Amino acid sequence: MALSETAARMEWGACWLEPAPIPRALATEVRRSTGGGLPVWASRLAPLPWLARAFARLTEKRLAHMPLALWDLIGLIVSQDNSCRYCYGAMRTVLKVLGHDDAYVDRIERDVHLAELSRTEQAALEFARRVSHANPRPAAGELEDLARAGFSRPAIAEIAYAAASSVFANRVATLLALPPEPFEGWVDRPLARLLRPLVARRLRARRVAPEPLPRPNDGPCAAVVAALAGSPVARVLREVIDDALASPVLPRRTKLLMLAVIGRALGCRPSEVEAAEGLRGAGFTPDDVSEVLANLGSPKLDGREVLLVPFARETVRYRNAAIQRHTHELWERLGTQEVLEAIGIAALANGVCRLSVLLEAC
């Protein structure tokens, strides 16, 4: 089944956000993470540099423990599961450049159990799909099953992170209805076939040394970051979260409210509690937070929060057409930077709250 056939069945609107100029420093940073190219998202996210950097860094394949080949396969199945046209197309193209033919990718999409994968790889892909679904959240027993299949605890953490990274990218791409990468059309051209091995070298995941937990690691999402201890992705996630919360476009309390709502929707108690603690300093009593979380509304919310709190909930599970329409309406009311920040926070919170499955076994 060609990419175009599967992609055509995914509900996908037109991107309403015009490309913006990319500052030189940001372009250099993105190129370093992506292996040289400037993807479609770079110019769309450029008005909010932290989000462009977050996209680049969270999807960067620098891993210390999990099998490297699993990263792209996880990206593919999670993107397929979330019906993200942009990420699905990009992942399929990357797999092709890495040497996998369409028939192989089709078999993985159809059923990971039918593809030429080892039992441990199949178990990892199933787990990643369940992390993404979060309906219900994977239980502690599923982490133990993966350990029995032969994965170390840090490798399991990276597998969950790979799924969460894709959850993040899928949300950013879907909410903005990003257009497909021109790269998709390039890959089958005769010249491209010759150049594939060279490009593949740049696109492969890289093995890097384990790293200690970043210090300080406090504030929202600290528990989830700590669950990634030993992997370089812990530092990446900590820095991305800190950048996101430090951005002045939306108030910190609005972002914490969005995190708490997404935590509640996904049954992720730690994220909800950490967000509530952060909100205490912003003038929200525990009762205020309870009211917001119970009803997605409160007289204490400002006009922007009245829009963003219910929006946060919509980003957890959605139909593409509905969420793309909703995001567009929000953009008409709030403007580019604020909507990009809301999308970034929602995407990050969806990833982090799903990743908190790692706390189940702690």
Partner 1 sequence: MLTFAWASLVVLAALAAWAWRVRQRTAGLERRLVQASRELEALQQSFARFAPHEVVEDIIAQGVSTRSETKEVTVLFADLKGFTSIAERLEPARLVTLLNGYFEAMGQAIVSHRGHLAKFIGDGLLALFGALELNPWQTNDALHAALAMRSALAAYNARLRAEGLPPLAAGIGIHRGPVVAGVLGNAALMEYGVIGRTVNLAARVEDLTRVHDTDILVTESVRAHCDRRFRLRPLPPVEARGLPAPLVTFAVEAFDGT
Q: Provide the binding-site residues for partner 1, judged by CB under 8 A.
A: 1, 106, 110, 133, 135-136, 264-267, 293-297, 306, 313, 317
DSSP classification of residue 314: H
Closer CB to partner 1, residue 18 or residue 287?
287
Q: What is the Cα–Cα distance from 200 to 287, expressed in whole angstroms?
A: 53
- The separation between the first and the last C-alpha atoms of the chain, rounded to the nearest angstrom, is 42
Closer CB to partner 1, residue 103 or residue 198?
103
Q: Alpha-carbon Rg of the chain, whole angstroms? A: 20
Q: How many CA atoms lie within 13 A of 79 on its CB side?
A: 29
Shortest Cβ 110–partner 1 spacing (Å): 5
Phi-psi region of 24 (alpha: psi -120 to 50; beta: other; left: phi over 0): alpha
Kindly report whether the peptide bond that precedes residue 299 is cis, defined as omega within 30 degrees of 0. no
Closer CB to partner 1, residue 4 or residue 295?
295
Closer CB to partner 1, residue 133 or residue 204?
133
Residue spans of alpha helices (H) in 16-149: 24-34, 40-45, 49-58, 69-81, 85-97, 102-110, 119-133, 140-148
Shortest Cβ 225–partner 1 spacing (Å): 24
Shortest Cβ 322–partner 1 spacing (Å): 9
Shortest Cβ 84–partner 1 spacing (Å): 15
Closer CB to partner 1, residue 48 or residue 259?
259
Q: What is the Cα–Cα distance from 185 to 13, expressed in whole angstroms?
A: 20
Shortest Cβ 297–partner 1 spacing (Å): 6
**Which H helix or E strand runs over 301?**
none
The structure tokens listed for 159 are 């597998």
Shortest Cβ 5–partner 1 spacing (Å): 8
Closer CB to partner 1, residue 228 or residue 316?
316
